[in-house]
Structure formats: C-alpha cells, structure tokens
Amino acid sequence: MFLRNQQQNGNTLLAEPHVLSTVGDHGSHPPYRPPALPTRNPTSLTTSRAPVAASLASSITVRFSSARTLYGRKPAPVMASFSSRGPNKIQPSILKPDVTAPGVNILAAYSLFASASDLLTDNRRGFPFNVMQGTSMSCPHAAGIAGLLRTLHPTWSPAAIKSAIMTTATTLDNTNKPIQDAFDHKLANPFAYGSGHVQPNRAIEPGLVYDLHLNDYLNFLCASGYNQQLISALNFNRTFICKGTHTIDDLNYPSITLPNLKLSPLTITRTLTNVGPPGTYNATAKLDGCKITVVPNSLTFTKINEKKTFRVTIQASIVIKLYKYQFGELLWTDGKHRVRSPITVRRRR
C-alpha cells in the first residue's frame, strides 16, 4: 500500500506498524498515482520510506532495502506536524508549549498485551518494544532530564529545574539554522517549540535560573481572579490571603508573554538566581516592531543562590498589526552561560 500524507500531516513520516506492507510518502512533490499493486501474499512488514522504482506502464516495481540506521540526518530536529501549537487558550499570559523534545519514531517499551498496531483486530502480541510518537514520547525525555538535574542538584526546586531546561534549549537545528516546521514548510516559532529543543548537557549548568515557590503560584492565582476559598483549597486547605498588588505578567516564569500589549509602555519584573560560579551577566533583547529596554542590563553575582531583580519595558509601535503575535528573545550571558527567554507579544490596541 502507498500511504501518502494529507496536507495537515506536512512532511512528517511515521514508522508505524501497519497490518500490511506500506510505503510512506510525505507528499511534498506533485501527486503520483501508481497503478494498483497485486494483493497476493500480503505481509505485515513496515517501512516508513523505502526506495521506490516505478514506471508509468502497466506494472510497478517496488524494492525494499535492508533495514539500516541512519546517523546525522539533516536538518534535525524539525517540528512534527502533529505537535500541539500555541497560543495558550487557558492562560494566554503563559507561553505554551514550554519546550520540545524528541517525540517521533521513538523506540520505546511497549505492553506485551497490546497489539503491534494498537488495533483490536490485530492479533500480533508480545512485543516488548515498539516505535511510537507523540507527547507520550517527548514527555519521558523531558522527565528524564528533570530526573538527571534533580540527582545532580537535589536542592533545586521544580521551578528551578524547569527554568534550567527552558533557558538552555536551542532554537537552531544541526545545520545551525532556525528549526523548521514540518506542518507548513516554514520556520517554526515559539508556539511550536516554546523555548526550543532541549539540551540536557547545557541544562546541567544553566548559570542562572528563574525560581518560583508556592506563594508565587498562589499570588498568581490571586492576580488571575480566583476566589480566596479556592486558593486556600489549593494551599493544603490552609487559609491564604491575597495581599498587595500582584500582576499575571510578573510571575517569575522563564518566558515573557504579553497578549494585550498597547502602544503605551508596559514594564514587567523578573528575578534571577545564581546557581553557578560568580560572574557578571549582560543582557541583550530584541523584538521586531517594539522598543524594549532592560534595567539594569548588567547583573553581577558574587555567591551561589544570590538573587537579582530586573525590569523589562516593552512598547509596541504602530508598525505591528493588530492581533498579530510578534516573537523575540531576552538573553543573559557571562560569556560561557546563555540564559535565554522567548518573548511573545500581541498588540491589542
């Protein structure tokens, strides 16, 4: 069987265990309609993209090469066409997704009681491993990185671990070019990959982290308009009183998202915690169509766990179309560590 991607599948090819011999085709070239294949002796072999030699005469020849592992494929990674996309519909002020991780054609542990294709009509059982894809595959990669960081840094909070993974992620592929999107054959953006593709080795030594604790999350709920009773229920049923002024934009998150930006300047606050050696970090920020300033734009840390607060002021210009998202970044670096936060804004008025 020739299985061709529909438009919404982009050029993502999946190594799926079909119930009959299948040749996958990403469909990015002009349509080709081969003549019917003989149905004699169907098998359960699978290939995601086998070399095909075909003629337009009354017969067709298909050659299957021996299975082999290909290394160093370029470009990689590419955002899968089925990967969920932002913006965040529940809380637009928080960028989602956070990061992207390997999740296509992953050799993974598999239930011995499930069929190879996960179809009830498929009687093939007893496989300890299978090739799978989806968030269910990328999540174990991210969880494994979090486990690694927890082992190496047992005093870090979950938010610190999350920050380390996000701020060290990359938006470049292995050709040193921006990550592509398999869905529409264009460059991917933060609504596809969040902060970027995970880099475990860099996450081990992020330099700085954006830390958060329980009260920070509860104050975020205060700013979001939740009532005191519900917030207290989320605080282990201990009464929590919303005090002072808190804004959603000031949650100490490793990304910056402003979905209601106006032509007047908007200032948000963030705090960095030093988890590396002493040093001075300098900031650079860029956001097309906006004026952006960071104050102070240089932070000097003299000891571990030292905290420094800074402010980011963003002002949209009339060149930005209404309701259209713009993407940029904030980068802190001491020459060795790169602490990067994606910036996502949308002009509303």
Q: How far is residue 308 CA from its own chain's centroid?
A: 27
343: enclosing H helix or E strand? strand 338-347
Characterize the bridge pairing of strands 338-347 and 325-333: antiparallel
Give yes or no for residue 31 having a pLDDT over 80.
Answer: no
Q: Name every residue whose Cβ is closer than 8 Å to that of residue 335 and which is 6 or more positions away in sequence.
A: none
| pLDDT cut 90: percent of the chain above it | 69
Arithmetic mean of pLDDT, 117-125: 92
**Eight-class DSSP state of 243:** -
Q: Give pLDDT, residue 29.
A: 54
What residue type is assigned to position 283 of the chain?
A: A
Among 298, 244, 248, 241, CA closest to 269: 248
Least confident of 3-12, 25-34, 169-178, 300-309: 25-34
Of residues 209 and 35, more confidence is placed in 209
Q: How far is it, in rounded angstroms, from Cα 26 to Cα 5? A: 5
Query: Cis link prior to 87 (omega < 30° from 0)?
Result: yes
Extract the runs of DSSP E, i.e. beta strands, from 296-337: 298-301, 307-316, 325-333
Report how far apart, in Å, the C-alpha atoms of 31 and of each of 27, 28, 185 are. 7, 8, 17
Q: Could you tell me the two tokens for 282?
A: 């300098």
306 conformational bin, left if phi > 0, alpha if psi -120 to 50, beta if neither: beta
Q: Could you tell me the two tokens for 166?
A: 């996000």
Q: How far is it, in rounded angstroms, from Cα 137 to Cα 149? A: 19
Average pLDDT, the chain: 89
Among 200, 179, 332, CA closest to 256: 332
Count Cβ atoms within 10 A of the Cβ of residue 145 and give its class: 0-12 exposed, 13-18 middle, 19 or more buried.
buried
The dihedral of CA 183, 189, 193, 197: what is its sign?
A: positive
Residue 9: count of CB within 10 angstroms of its CB: 18
Work out the pLDDT band at 55, boundaries 50, 70, 90: very low
pLDDT in tens, 38-50: 444 433 333 334 4
Arithmetic mean of pLDDT, 316-339: 94
285, 313 contact by CB (below 8 A): no
Residue ranges of the domains in the chain?
Answer: 207-347
What residue type is assigned to position 130 of the chain?
A: N
Least confident of 26-40, 205-219, 293-307: 26-40
Q: How far is it, in rounded angstroms, from Cα 15 to Cα 105? A: 6
Domain 207-347 has CATH 2.60.40.2310: yes
What residue type is assigned to position 296 of the chain?
A: P
**Eight-class DSSP state of 122:** -
pLDDT in tens, 209-218: 999 999 999 9
